[in-house]
Structure 1
Amino acid sequence: MEWLIISLFILSAILFFLSFFQKRPNQALEKQLDNLSIQLMQEIYYLKKKVKVLEEEYMIGENRTNTEPSHHIPQPLSRDDVLSMHEEGHSVEDISLITDYPVDEIEELLAQ
């Protein structure tokens, strides 16, 4: 009876030590899940960036449609106004559309 208890104890110790070296079956699945979550975060970041660009383009397009040629008298335009719009990244044509001034006058104000 003693031999049986000792042999079972030795067998349990061997199995216990072998369990440390056994590969976890979920390890590959966990790695795939981590990779998937990282990929999703990157896609979400990319989509947010794209939405921001589209919103900015929409706002610029909205400014153009709101200021398309109408039947009102354009306000006097200063060189500072034109320079600030140009520094914001608007092209000469954009400034012309926004202010209802001809492109030649805008270029002349920028050249001063």
Structure 2
Amino acid sequence: MDNSRKCLVPQQEQALLQHINKLIERRLPPTREIIRNFALSKVIDAVRHHANSYLKYRLYFDLLHEKMAQYNIQACNTYNMDEKGFLIGILGRSKRIFNREI
């Protein structure tokens, strides 16, 4: 199959194959329409998930920029932390500060 026309990621393809196998086990031969509808539902679910994730991040960063403007915080005074980074105001032996140069 031409990859430019491929709509499903490998996990979705696997779910589709499992669905087809379950239909066959139940002696319900899958039609093209059944397969198409199942695949379409997987694609729609993925699009909804990504749209919801995007909206959550968009709201977070809108609020972040609003607060930076409100308190006059410059971008050069912000820091990117991950789960191994440090937490302001919390002391402990296991906390570490990382400086990663790009």
Greater Cα radius of gyration, structure 1 or 2:
1
Larger relative contact order (CA 8 Å, sep ≥ 6): 1
Superposition TM-score, scaled by structure 2 size: 0.41
Superposition TM-score, scaled by structure 1 size: 0.37
Question: Counting helix residues as a fraction of each chain, which structure ranks higher?
Answer: 1
